[in-house]
Amino acid sequence: MQSKGKFGQRLGAMAAAAIMLAAFGGAEAMAASPRAAENKVVLIARQDPGTLDYVTSGLTALRLWIPANVVEPLVYFNKDGSVEPGVAESWTISDDKLTYEFKIRKTNFSDGTPVTVEDVIYSLNTMKASPVVNNSSAYNAVTAIEKVDDSTVKVTLSQPSQNFWRGMGSVAGLIQPEHAAGTIATNPIGTGPYVLKSYTTNSTFEFEANPNYWGTKPTITAATVRIVTDGTAGLNALEAGEVDAVPVITIDLWEQLTKRELDKKFTLVTYPQIGEPTYAVFNQKLDPALRQALAATLDRQSYNDAFGAAWGAENTCTFALPNQPWYSPESPETCPYPFDYEAAMAKAPEFASTPLEYASLSDVPDLSLPADIMIPAMQGAGFNVTRNAIDLARYSQLIFQGRPPQFDITVMSGDAEPTQWACPTPDKAGWSTYCSQPYTDALLAADAAPSDEEYLAKMKEAADILRKDAVIVPLIAKKGVGLFDAELKGFLEPRVLVAIEIGKLHW
């Protein structure tokens, strides 16, 4: 059997975290927050998730606050590749990587009920059946999830799976009590350092320290996350001392951030985990020649310029972030369909009779701004594009849940997990619209790779298949950017996907 320490070290290159690009310190001295003496904080969120059901929703607006704070995974991956206990206090992995045994710690959920092996089995099976591909794909190789005894769960795999092991430290590995599953959309229960006391749609999350928490008690005893969709209002509140941090500053505010010199007044952090690719999506049903012609209208530098902060984004044709080893910046070698407006105009008459509906978000500036650039460019080249602007709630219902996909073109921004596009046959297409047997096969081969070198080679192969098919067409790779009160210390780059760990903060 292989110990947890040795296996964690081997997977250093594939752990969820990467490199911290900036650390606290150097901000101008400012008056202490009125909440410092009480060990409280007020943070800003830009979007309301609409639901807290992390099993069925993959929205970043949800994943920022509930994982790691309220609900914990079986294990935690650190940026150096080491693995720490979570709900599992220890684990063993067979030499052939086909059997994992997790020893479940004796602790309680935040509602006071004990964590049981049955709860863990329920949680893993629930994630295995999740409609969110990023959740369920971690279990593609899982053949059995079984109780060994009252403190041990055994998971059996059909083949070695890097996705499974890394998933146990991400959203796919979150553990909830079965008896509270019915209220997960409004009141998720877990073993984390905080209890969600209340969630008011389009207003606030209120967190309080969990009295049943098994680990080191958090210094911050209460946290309010205010949902402020107006980014300028959020920055104004920070500057006025009404809030203590804006952990995720969306790209539409970057130019304002520097012009107002907020990066000098507060602690600026950049980190890869909340970085996101921004990418055009062309429905797979469209003629490949049409998709390629549309891709030729995409001037990546124009999108970068529009946000006014090139230090925070890089042009790319690869669906990935710079901390992922298969990532490549924009270049003639990595862009099969580079910006070529004259070529697009020459091709457009062939498709003049093809109506194209562009579904755009009306209330997410990060995505409405790219749409403002993309649509006129396509129309100017001669393509028959009509805009359908809808709010996030309607977009989530129509686009994310639409079967088959209910749009021709859209622009999206989200996590950089490549497995979300895996789909062997077109009849299974969902909002991602991309189904390719070669792509799915390349990802499966990467998942089963016995070495880091083979894993990377297969991931590069998969990335090449994706970009050449002109369905998911990357534009820029954004970094995660945040501003914190200079006295608020302890920010830890996210370990559970993009989650902001409030429990690590302190005054």
- Write out pLDDT tens, residues 393-420: 888 777 776 667 778 999 998 878 888 8
Average pLDDT over residues 26-55: 86
User: Do you know the residue count of the chain?
Assistant: 507
Question: Pairing relation of β-strands 356-361 and 409-413?
Answer: parallel
Report the C-alpha gap between 268 and 442 in whole angstroms: 38
**3-state secondary structure (DSSP) of residue 261:** coil
- Strands 409-413 and 385-390: what pairing? unpaired
- Amino acid identity, position 140: N
Cis bond leading into 49, ω under 30°? Answer: no
pLDDT in tens, 124-138: 999 999 999 889 989
Query: For 23-32, 238-247, 470-479, which range has the lowest pLDDT when averaged over its residues?
Result: 23-32
Position 19 scores a pLDDT of 34
Average pLDDT of the chain?
Answer: 89
pLDDT digits (tens, 9 = 90+) for 300-325: 999 998 877 677 788 999 999 887 88
Confidence of residue 175 (pLDDT cuts 50, 70, 90): very high
Residue range 192-239, pLDDT digits in tens: 999 999 999 999 999 999 999 999 999 999 999 999 999 999 999 999
Burial of 450 (0-12, 13-18, 19+ CB in 10 A): exposed
Across 472-491, b (16+ Cβ under 10 Å) vs e yields bbbbbbbbbbbbbbbbbebb
pLDDT of the residue at 396: 77
